[in-house]
Amino acid sequence: MIEIERKFLVKSTAFKAEAFKQTRIVQGFLNTDKARTVRVRLKGEQGFITVKGPSSSDGLERFEWEKEITALEAEALFKICEEGVIDKTRYEVKAGKHTFEIDEFYGDNDGLIVAEVELETKEDQFIKPEWLGTEVTGEIKYYNSQLSKHPFKLWK
Amino acid sequence: MIEIERKFLVKSTAFKAEAFKQTRIVQGFLNTDKARTVRVRLKGEQGFITVKGPSSSDGLERFEWEKEITALEAEALFKICEEGVIDKTRYEVKAGKHTFEIDEFYGDNDGLIVAEVELETKEDQFIKPEWLGTEVTGEIKYYNSQLSKHPFKLWK
């Protein structure tokens, strides 16, 4: 299916007090090619394999396919993933009818916090919480597949 | 899991008369890196996503993980696969307690016929049918992931 998502930097950690859920996520990549990213994720006790296609020219839409797998399967697949594991906590915050997913990164991406909101249509309006910063939708360096190879600590 | 397989060229089409099953297989690749191949397969009405790790130094063993998906999911994933689809018919032939899987390729790999047998252990003995040719176990050019990029018709 095609997902429509907008992505923002986060200005403060005020979102933490508003979160209704937080989950540790560890993920590796079987392919970091932007045209066919293959991600293996461990999210709490659940495993997932996810395939993403190329982004649309405006960066808003991207084909995404996901299948749940066991945690043991995810662990086995991690062993053959590319170098550069992503480790983060995902906070979920409601804002009107939408849910923001805010990822606070650890390790080589320590210091980076990014929020994403999934929309029904490209024109869909949404509430912007006060902690929401600059929009970075479509900026490839913020893709997790790219952060695994070129982490935040090496930027500037 | 780790699979132990041996692969051979096929000298004649005599195997066709011995086959108890034949299935058309179409497959594409989300990654052709030998260290982390990701294959999407349509096998008759069934879909599969399969991940293979690097081969052992003797070429006999390889990590393999597979999940069944729907035919529709496979079709959607084909759209973002690398160029170079593999199209073949797989014949299955019993020989003693083992089953040979013989792939007759079409398209850019027309003329190539390869047989594989899965073993329990590296030392496992098996019957060699008269149509079985030269062993090519571990020869990377015969990997389907490589045939998709460097097809048989371009060899020599």
pLDDT at A65: 97
Residue A3 pLDDT exceeds 90: no
pLDDT of residue A52 exceeding 90:
yes
Which of A3, A49, A52 minimizes the C-alpha distance to A32?
A: A52
Residue contact B36–A30, C-beta within 8 A: yes
Task: Tell me: pLDDT of B80 over 90.
Answer: yes
A48 touches chain B (CB under 8 A): no
The dihedral over CA atoms of A57, A59, A65, A69, expressed in degrees to the nearest 10, equals 150
pLDDT at B66: 97
pLDDT at A141: 95
pLDDT of A58 over the 90 cut: no
- pLDDT value for B47: 98
Q: pLDDT tens, B84-140?
A: 999 999 999 999 999 999 999 999 999 999 999 999 998 999 999 999 999 999 999
Strand residues in chain B grouped as ranges (E): 2-10, 21-31, 37-43, 46-55, 61-69, 86-95, 98-105, 113-119, 132-135
pLDDT, one tens digit per residue, over B5-37 is: 999 999 999 999 999 999 999 999 999 999 999
CA gap A26, A75 in Å, rounded: 10
Alpha helices in chain A (DSSP H): 15-18, 71-78, 144-147
Helix (H) or strand (E) holding B77: helix B71-78
Distances (CA, A) of B131 to A104, B5, B138: 60, 18, 20
The shortest CB-CB distance from A73 to any of B65, B76, B79 is to: B65
Q: Are strands A2-10 and A61-69 parallel, antiparallel or unpaired?
A: antiparallel
Find the closest chain A residue to B82 by CA distance: A36
Average pLDDT value over all residues in chain B: 95
Evaluate if residue A96 carries a pLDDT over 90.
yes
Q: Compute the average pLDDT of residues B26-52.
A: 96
- Test B36 with A69 for CB contact under 8 angstroms: no
Residue B151: partners with Cβ closer than 8 Å, 6 or more residues away: B84, B107, B108, B109
pLDDT at B41 over 90: yes
All domains of chain B, ordered by start, with CATH?
A: 2-154 (2.40.320.10)
State whether B79 and A53 contact (CB < 8 Å).
yes
pLDDT, tens digit (0-9, with 9 covering 90-100), for B53-71: 998 888 888 999 999 999 9
